[in-house]
Structure 1
Amino acid sequence: MSAPHPRILYIDDDEGLRRLVARVLARKGYTVTTAASGDEGLACVSARAAAGEPFDLVAVDHYMPGRDGLSTLEALRVLPDCPPVVYVTGSEESRIAVAALKAGAQDYVVKAVGDDFFDLLSQSFDQVLEAAALRRARDRAEQDLLASNARLEVLLREVNHRVANNLQMVMAFVSMQARSVADEAARDALHRAHQRIATIAQVNRRLYTTNDVEFVAIDEYLEALAADMGEAWSSQRPRDVRVSADAVRLKTDLAVTIGLAANELIGNACKYAYPPDADGAVDLTVRCHGPQDDGSAILTLTVEDKGCGMPADGLVQGTGLGTRLIDALTRSRGAVLAHTPVHPGTATPGTRASLTMTLSPDDWSATAED
């Protein structure tokens, strides 16, 4: 099926030239309608648009009695869905061409004697129509992309919502199981498993509420995580978990790693640093030193308490699962975990657990406040 011929409206008060333009351009593949004045041309454009057969292009002569070309161009531009306009003038004054282009014409052609004028007119029409087709294609592509993005955002929100619900369900099952077992070690293991799941759920909650699936604001995340952990541990022991973290955004997978590591270190401090019936505070600090010359950064996560300190033999208390988990999570990043006393030689030396790792330039970014 052949493409339809472009529909052209040629507005000029010179009747002989109008007929000649219509005849020559018809041979070049255009369907040409003519108008003898600006007002007649405006009426033609409105009528064809109302009939659902708008012009593809309008050519307007500059010198016309009554409404001249610039006035006609101005009136055309306020019409809804105005076709592209080519301005035609017999004057070689550049100021007229500049005025027409500023007023919204896509191109201009200077009248000349002979066939050169029709060739120039046809070339101008071809270029303007091609540019208009490209703009329409771009607009359609943008609209399709916006619609696709909207569908993906809805899908992402639905997926995140379902993941959040599933994680909450798993946490509820673990809590129910913990309440049903009599063995203290089993109950403690289930409690720690519940906290690990909650750590991942907290990241998912942030992805769901911020619509940013690539980065997580680590300070906001850890503050929420610490509040949850403090509340959870206080149901067994009076614990106050406090946070001081730099305002840094980390890649989502790295944020999960940091959150799980913080969960293990805070959990160890809450359980072992203080007597079960005594109040105790645990301080979580995250510092990000960067950028370095290569764009990387050094991140240090510190969990500190003012409790009884590490055992004299240096052995890990409990099953050691938390330490092994931290090692498994951070080994690929070359992280280093160290335990040192806060106040050595005192009755309450406390413990400072520090996890240090190098972040690649793609792993992190400073927030706007930084």
Structure 2
Amino acid sequence: MTRALARRGWTVTGAASGAEGIALAGEGGFDLVAVDHYMPGLDGLETLSAINALPAPPPVVYVSGSDEGRIAVAALKAGAADYVVKAVGEDFFDLLAASFEQVLDRTRLERAKAEAEAELRASNARLEAMLSEVNHRVANSLQLVSAMIGLQKGVMTDAHAREALEDTQRRIRAIAQVHRRLYTANDVEQVDLRDYLGALVEELGESWSSDALPRTLTLTAEPIRVKTDRAVSIGVIVTELVTNACKYAYPGAAGEVRISVAQGDGHCLLAVEDDGCGMAADQKPQGTGLGAKLIRAMAQSLQTVVEYDPAHTGVRAVMRVPV
């Protein structure tokens, strides 16, 4: 066999037994190993198992004089790369050499694929680390902008101007909240809507509630993951709707604003409601109109619209967001 394979361009090292073959394979330097089923001492399957247990084992072509299917199945299940039935004549060596070529080609492809996948994973890890750092810096920058607006608000004497700056701060915080979650999360492409809105609603509650005019904001939400850009749009809409409710639903009195998010069939149902004075059917939302424009723009980016429930006592805004 050694001479026949040498004539076909192969350099062969022979082993008289399975144990000797295992020892040689353990020394390394072989592109592949051919294992006979019938050998003195360890049989082929035992030898195959021992070779595959080596660190970085070479591929194994299993050779047997038996054409029994059970042996072939057992060898392939044990990790053989190919199976060749031994025969008399040069055709067998041609078949064996062809098997060697196929196994080596397949092994090279598998190694190249594994290396490419490893490089891709490393590249993704680097990109995710960079994106996390970007989100960290964006969140810090937005926090700085919000603080600067707060300083500007502190020196403003016009009540309407102060109110406009406060609304701007809330919008900035809604966006910054997404970026804060992204740089502390493993997934930089999606946000858990329940966690995000929970933190956002808590901030809005602290912003709007006071001893003189307490506002109770409650969130009921299912765990739903959405892409980052969609989370930003949802956050801005929730901020505007909650702001409207806190401003106008309970004039001079305490009140509750409820936010809910439920999973539907291919969408999530978002609702913001209060039990306040409500709006007439033909009444436009109060304020400068900027909030309404933002709600429409953000809803359009989500391929949806915000609808108002005319049967609800107070105001109930509902939006179905495709997910």
TM range (shorter): 0.7 to 0.9
Alignment of 1:7-156 (within 5 A): 21-47=1-27, 49=28, 54-156=29-131
Contact 1:217/1:249, CA 8 A, preserved across alignment: yes
- Alpha-carbon distance between aligned partners in 2 of 1:330 and 1:243, rounded to the nearest angstrom: 20
Matched, 1:354 2:323: no
- Alpha-carbon distance between aligned partners in 2 of 1:74 and 1:287, rounded to the nearest angstrom: 53
Q: CA deviation at 1:287?
A: 4.8
- The 3 A distance-change label for structure 1 pair 251 and 80 is closer
Contact 2:181/2:196, CA 8 A, preserved across alignment: yes
- Unmatched 5+ residue regions in structure 1? 1-20, 344-350, 365-370
- Alpha-carbon distance between aligned partners in 2 of 1:243 and 1:158, rounded to the nearest angstrom: 30
Matched, 1:272 2:252: no
- Alpha-carbon distance between aligned partners in 1 of 2:281 and 2:35, rounded to the nearest angstrom: 95
- Alpha-carbon distance between aligned partners in 1 of 2:259 and 2:53, rounded to the nearest angstrom: 63
**Is the partner of 1:144 in helix, strand or coil?**
helix
- Alpha-carbon distance between aligned partners in 1 of 2:298 and 2:77, rounded to the nearest angstrom: 62
Q: CA deviation at 1:195?
A: 0.3
Report the equivalent of 2:297.
Answer: 328
Contact 2:309/2:315, CA 8 A, preserved across alignment: yes
Give the aligned residue type for 1:238.
P
Identity fraction in percent: 55
- Unmatched 5+ residue regions in structure 2? none
Deviates more, 1:109-118 or 1:267-276: 267-276
- The 3 A distance-change label for structure 1 pair 320 and 28 is same
Question: Residue 156 of structure 2 is aligned with which of 154, 159, 181?
Answer: 181
Report the equivalent of 1:168.
Answer: 143
Report the equivalent of 2:180.
Answer: 205
Give the aligned residue type for 1:228.
E
- Alpha-carbon distance between aligned partners in 2 of 1:355 and 1:117, rounded to the nearest angstrom: 75
Question: Residue 238 of structure 2 is aligned with which of 250, 255, 262?
Answer: 262
Give the aligned residue type for 2:131.
L
Q: CA deviation at 1:196?
A: 0.5
Question: Residue 319 of structure 1 is aligned with which of 261, 264, 288?
Answer: 288
TM-score normalised by length of structure 1: 0.76
Report the equivalent of 1:240.
Answer: 216
- The 3 A distance-change label for structure 1 pair 245 and 29 is same
Q: CA deviation at 1:194?
A: 0.2
Contact 1:269/1:305, CA 8 A, preserved across alignment: no
**Is the partner of 1:262 in helix, strand or coil?**
helix
Report the equivalent of 1:253.
Answer: 229
Contact 2:192/2:223, CA 8 A, preserved across alignment: yes
Residues 235-268 of structure 1, C-alpha deviations (whole Å, 9 max, x = no match):
5842222223454444433332232222122212
Report the equivalent of 2:258.
Answer: 283
Q: CA deviation at 1:111?
A: 2.5
- The 3 A distance-change label for structure 1 pair 242 and 38 is closer
Contact 2:274/2:316, CA 8 A, preserved across alignment: yes
Residues 292-348 of structure 1, C-alpha deviations (whole Å, 9 max, x = no match):
xxx5x4735232143x444899464332322232233335645244375855xxxxx
Give the aligned residue type for 1:97.
A
**Is the partner of 1:210 in helix, strand or coil?**
coil
- The 3 A distance-change label for structure 1 pair 39 and 254 is closer
- Alpha-carbon distance between aligned partners in 1 of 2:310 and 2:67, rounded to the nearest angstrom: 86
CA RMSD of aligned residues (A): 2.8
- Alpha-carbon distance between aligned partners in 2 of 1:103 and 1:342, rounded to the nearest angstrom: 68
Give the 4+ runs in structure 1 shifted more than 4 A: 308-313, 339-343
- The 3 A distance-change label for structure 1 pair 73 and 314 is closer
Give the aligned residue type for 1:154.
A
Matched, 1:299 2:262: no
Contact 1:84/1:106, CA 8 A, preserved across alignment: yes
- The 3 A distance-change label for structure 1 pair 265 and 46 is closer
Number of positions where the alignment pairs a residue of Structure 1 with one of Structure 2: 321
Contact 1:286/1:302, CA 8 A, preserved across alignment: no
- Alpha-carbon distance between aligned partners in 2 of 1:103 and 1:336, rounded to the nearest angstrom: 61
Deviates more, 1:240-249 or 1:166-175: 240-249
Residues 88-132 of structure 1, C-alpha deviations (whole Å, 9 max, x = no match):
233344443333333332223232222112111111111221221
- The 3 A distance-change label for structure 1 pair 310 and 109 is closer
